[in-house]
Amino acid sequence: MIEIFILGQRYEVPEGLTILKAFEWSGFHLTRGVGCRGGFCGACGTVYRLPNDHKLYYALACQTVTMPGMILGEIPFFPAQRPIYHLESLEAQGETIFNLYPEVLRCYGCNTCTKACPQEIDVLNYMSAVIRGDIAAAAEISFDCIACGLCVARCPSENVPPNVALLARRLYGKYLAPQAAHLRQRIQELEGGSFRSEIGVLKNAPLDELRKQYAVRQIEE
């Protein structure tokens, strides 16, 4: 057993538990701050400190193993501005993002956002790309963002990097990304009913047969 502190209260939990499981072992019934448990949804953002260490650490509770003396505080949600917009009426340029998120131009370049990211994304890099108007670069660099909000909680210029990045990826996907002609063709085929008979066969196939077909499926390069 190891000693940890959750929201200022002392608990003893089995060694080797993740922070999320340690919360539950300690009697917390989590209705928020828990989601996929696989490090993809960003719902379990957590901050902690260690004994005799002034540094503030950032983590996803479902992916980080507890350590003796941990002082834990969970941040399942942090307030972040997210303006309403219609993607079809926007243009893929830097001014579009500045108009919706004017605080972007207040960025100090302090890199606190990057230090707070549990995914080790170079947040400052994609925010800098936004300021330069390079939407494609911002979309690519921020691709792995899971919007946990830890960078929002720490930003001294009151920016909301996850929402800014989401807008950049949406603009890139709709207006700048190369169009996939084969995808458009496949959608037309689906809408035209070209695969209805095959789908009917799959619906009635035994599970073992579906597994075999899945194993030998053709994977696009």
72 in Cβ contact with 2 (< 8 Å): no
Q: Assess whether 18 and 59 both reside in one domain.
A: yes
Q: What is the pTM of this model?
A: 0.77
Q: Is residue 201 part of a domain?
A: no
Question: In the structure encoding, which two tokens stand for residue 152, read together?
Answer: 């929002």
CATH of the domain at 70: 3.10.20.740
Q: Is residue 192 part of a domain?
A: no
Q: How many domains does the chain have?
A: 2
Q: Assess whether 93 and 172 both reside in one domain.
A: yes
**100: Cβ contacts below 8 Å, ≥ 6 apart:** 83, 85, 167
Range of the domain at 161: 87-176
| Last residue in a domain, options 15, 50, 74 | 74
Q: Is residue 40 part of a domain?
A: yes
Q: What is the mean pLDDT of each run of 10 residues along the chain (221 residues)?
A: 94 96 92 84 92 92 95 88 94 95 95 94 97 97 94 94 97 92 89 91 93 88 67
